[in-house]
A = this chain, B = another copy of it.
Amino acid sequence: MAPITIALDAMGGDHAPVFVVNGIDIARARFPDTNFILYGDEQRILPLLQKKRKLKDRCEIRHTDVVIGADDKPSQALRRGRRSSMRQAIDAVASGDAQGVVSAGNTGALMAMAKYVLKTIEGVDRPAIASFFPTARGESTMLDLGANVDCDANNLVQFAVMGAAFARTVLGVQRPSVGLLNIGVEEVKGHDAVRRVAQMLRESDPPFDFYGFVEGGDIALGTVDVIVTDGFTGNVALKTVEGTARLYSRFLRAAFRRSVFSRLGYLLARPALETLRHKVDPRVYNGAMFVGLNGIVVKSHGGTDATGFASAIGVAVDMVKGRYGDLILADFERFGAPIQPIPQAATS
């Protein structure tokens, strides 16, 4: 396979470009066949690169001093950000200079620019944000995580196809199971859109196993490989998972500090607890994918560190190597057609 090139918005995120360069250095060792183009302030990036001996040959800096701010509105970013590090990194995918882009910058701006530059795949009405997370059974993915607050049945069906392709490419599941997030598993539960989607998927022949409805408790359980929901519910659910895990860790730390015995107990159990910590380490699960676009776009958490940023790069590399773009195009050619003509009025 030919070497891969990943374009990076070197200026997006809370402590950019430091964690970006350090993250690339970790990813460099993991993916020897990958090169990087860094978009951003050369004067700030170059000194960091020069400290990483092995990184220099694999990186190219393309200078720009325009940066999209964390609080910039997507529409502003779109109009005024043509020379920004974020936009140029996306342009690199459009031009073929790179096969994927990773940014830890402003999510809304990244989505708006990526949609504008790369366009959505034919058959997809709206791109979605997907991510993966640890479960009792391994790993699962969920979408949409906030790109679309209002979704009709067609959107949700398309998310199912895109999510299943993602599970095949990045999670390596041959034929993923897909569940529709609802407030009960019975057919009568939920609002019109989810009931309609369930009916559509049961009556068609999708490129995945349609499991039916799942509930909030199934997210952590890993009942299915792919959880499909609207961007409002998905965003709330994912942040709820993260928040609850953090609370539990906090309670646990407090418990271990309670007495001399519990402190000693902690020391004895530490290696085992470290394994647990790694299992639920949000940095390992950093990297939200924008799916449904003609190009691979990965959003890293803005507050992540080098380890987390390297994970996000890893997701982009996996998607490139797994030919996510081709897979999803083929799925929509085969499966997209019969689900397209459903009129809006019947589904929302």
Interface of A with B (CB < 8 Å)? 73, 135-136, 146, 149-150, 181, 183-184, 188, 190-191, 215-221, 229, 231-233, 235-248, 250-252, 254-256, 258-259, 261-262, 264-273, 275-276, 279-280
Q: List 13 A-B contacts (CB under 8 A).
A: A135-B247, A149-B191, A183-B232, A183-B235, A215-B236, A219-B244, A220-B243, A221-B247, A251-B280, A262-B272, A262-B273, A265-B267, A269-B269
Do A216 and B190 touch (CB < 8 A)? no
Do A264 and B268 touch (CB < 8 A)? yes
- B218, B250, B276: the one contacting A243 at CB < 8 Å is B218
What residues on B are CB-neighbors of A241 within 8 Å?
Answer: 216, 240, 244
What residues on B are CB-neighbors of A231 within 8 Å?
Answer: 183
CA distance A26 to B270 in the complex (A): 39
A241: min CB distance to chain B, Å: 5
Q: How many copies does the complex hold?
A: 2
CA distance A275 to B229 in the complex (A): 36
A221: min CB distance to chain B, Å: 6
Query: Which of A146, A229, A240, A276 has the most chain B CB atoms inside 10 A of its CB?
Result: A240
What residues on B are CB-neighbors of A136 within 8 Å?
Answer: 247, 250
Considering the complex, give the chain B residue whose CB is closest to the CB of A240: B216
